[in-house]
Chain A
Amino acid sequence: MPEIAPLNKPSSKTELFVSFTLLALQGFGGVLAVVQRELVEKKRWMTREQFVEDWAVAQIMPGPNVVNLSLMIGGRYFGLPGALAGVAGMLAAPMVVVLLLAMAFGGVSDEAWAQGALRGMGAVSAGLIAAVGLKLISALRGNPMGMPVCIALAAASFVGVGLLRWPLAYVLLGTGLLACGWAYLQLAKQAVHAGEAP
């Protein structure tokens, strides 16, 4: 139901830059949750499915994930200048803020209350990330692999990374290759069926 209305898009590189700056400045303990809520739910620049796809690429390519994501989103609308505007928006203002904080509060981080505040904020940001994960599950509904297979793959990956704490690269090579292989077969089958019954 909510996917029927057409998506919006940024009208200019300036809007992209300003939007990303505002996003970044709201992101305490990581910006992913804010990006998901603002770009998918509020501004509606992308669907949940597109967000999952982009985040997959951003995470698998080397480098800072959020920088990769910004440059992909910016690049989609305005090419290379858009990619630069996205990354600059994500980094410039927060960098100034964090350096000012370092100058002002460099010594405060050892105080008990500051340590406590960090603990509390850390617990909240863990919750924010979990909530993004839970919300994105609905993006799997149209997945050609089917929901049961998706859940099995997700569960296996969670066990590997979260419970057994295997290195990410091994898990990606294991469940990742399996998933892409299975998806390939399913998509190929769909393509054959589509060819049979035009």
Chain B
Amino acid sequence: MNPVLQLSAQDWLSLFNHFASLSLLAVGGAITTAPDMHRYLVDETQWLSDSQFTSSIALAQAAPGPNILFVALMGWNVGLNAGAGLGGGWISAGLASLGVLVTMLGMVLPSSVLTYTATRWAHQHREKLGIRAFKVGMAPIVIALLLSTAWLLTISHKQPGQDWPLYLLTALTTLVVWRTQVHMLWLIGLGALLGALGWV
């Protein structure tokens, strides 16, 4: 594998800046900014291949932990590309780690500073009518957003004739988790097994 990329300090800085600005735009979760990441990393700079981009998102969803880690994987892959693939040894590993650091700090730092400051302020003024109204008013809407997310994930499989076993699996999971204390890892494992066997 040959080095496919030469990244200057300037490039690393603009990578950081790009993720830092997305951090402040990511209302409703980091995944909402994925289209813009694709535009920047794949189309514009060509630091990532299309399949590296897609598999970063897929792998982060399959792995344990918050889905935001797809950002770390993107940084990792940019770093690898900047080295020479995994064959590049410690230099590649170092560049890949730098990629993780740059993208994750960019994605997390600005929004965290803002959220921490804002929630501190809100906590100090928690008896104010405006703050209480916000919390009370947003409660039903946030619940609706959770249900919408689940709904959109489900109907992203668009062929009812073929995808109904997936719908059924989602519905059964909902019922089981809502009504029982069955450990969620069993359900995830079951889903993975059914999927790997091609039954859903």
- Provided the pairs A83-B116, A176-B138 are in contact, do residues A63 and B148 lie with their beta carbons within 8 angstroms? no
Q: Give chain B interface residues in 58-94, CB to chain A under 8 Å.
A: 58-69, 72-73, 76-77, 86
* Complex interface: chain B residues within 8 A of A93 (CB): 65
B144 close to A181 (CB less than 8 A): no
A61 interface neighbour in B115, B188, B193, Cβ under 8 Å: B115
* B31 vs chain A, min Cβ distance (A): 9
The closest CB in chain A to the CB of B118 belongs to: A61
B146 close to A123 (CB less than 8 A): no
- Provided the pairs A34-B184, A126-B170 are in contact, do residues A117 and B192 lie with their beta carbons within 8 angstroms? yes
Q: Give chain B interface residues in 2-48, CB to chain A under 8 Å.
A: 23-30, 32
| A27–B25 CA distance with the chains assembled, in angstroms | 25
B68 close to A67 (CB less than 8 A): yes
B200 close to A123 (CB less than 8 A): yes
Residue A116 interfacial (CB < 8 Å): yes
| A183–B137 CA distance with the chains assembled, in angstroms | 5
* Complex interface: chain B residues within 8 A of A132 (CB): 146, 177
* Complex interface: chain B residues within 8 A of A157 (CB): 140-141, 144-145, 148
* B46 vs chain A, min Cβ distance (A): 19
B139 close to A120 (CB less than 8 A): no
- Provided the pairs A24-B64, A123-B169 are in contact, do residues A117 and B196 lie with their beta carbons within 8 angstroms? yes
Residue A7 interfacial (CB < 8 Å): no
A140 close to B143 (CB less than 8 A): yes
B138 interface neighbour in A91, A125, A129, A180, Cβ under 8 Å: A180
Query: Which among A63, A93, A182 has the greatest number of chain B C-beta atoms within 10 A?
Result: A63
Residue B120 interfacial (CB < 8 Å): yes
* A79 vs chain B, min Cβ distance (A): 9
B86 interface neighbour in A64, A103, A110, Cβ under 8 Å: A103
Interface string of B156-179 (1 = CB under 8 A from A): 010000000011011111111110
Interface residues on A, range: 35 or more
* Complex interface: chain A residues within 8 A of B76 (CB): 99, 102
A56 close to B154 (CB less than 8 A): no
A98 interface neighbour in B65, B141, B170, B173, Cβ under 8 Å: B65
| A102–B175 CA distance with the chains assembled, in angstroms | 33
The closest CB in chain B to the CB of A38 belongs to: B184
B154 close to A123 (CB less than 8 A): yes
* A161 vs chain B, min Cβ distance (A): 4
Query: Which among A75, A93, A180, A191 has the greatest number of chain B C-beta atoms within 10 A?
Result: A180
Q: A64-B111, A143-B139 are in contact. List 12 more A-B contacts (CB 8 A).
A: A53-B138, A56-B134, A59-B142, A94-B63, A97-B63, A98-B65, A124-B190, A127-B177, A128-B173, A129-B146, A168-B145, A184-B129
The residues of A with any CB-CB pair to B shorter than 8 Å are 24-34, 37, 41, 49, 52-53, 55-68, 71-72, 75-76, 80, 83, 87, 90-91, 93-95, 97-99, 101-103, 105-106, 109-110, 112-114, 116-137, 139-140, 143-145, 149-151, 153-158, 161-162, 165, 168-169, 171-172, 175-176, 179-184, 186-188, 191
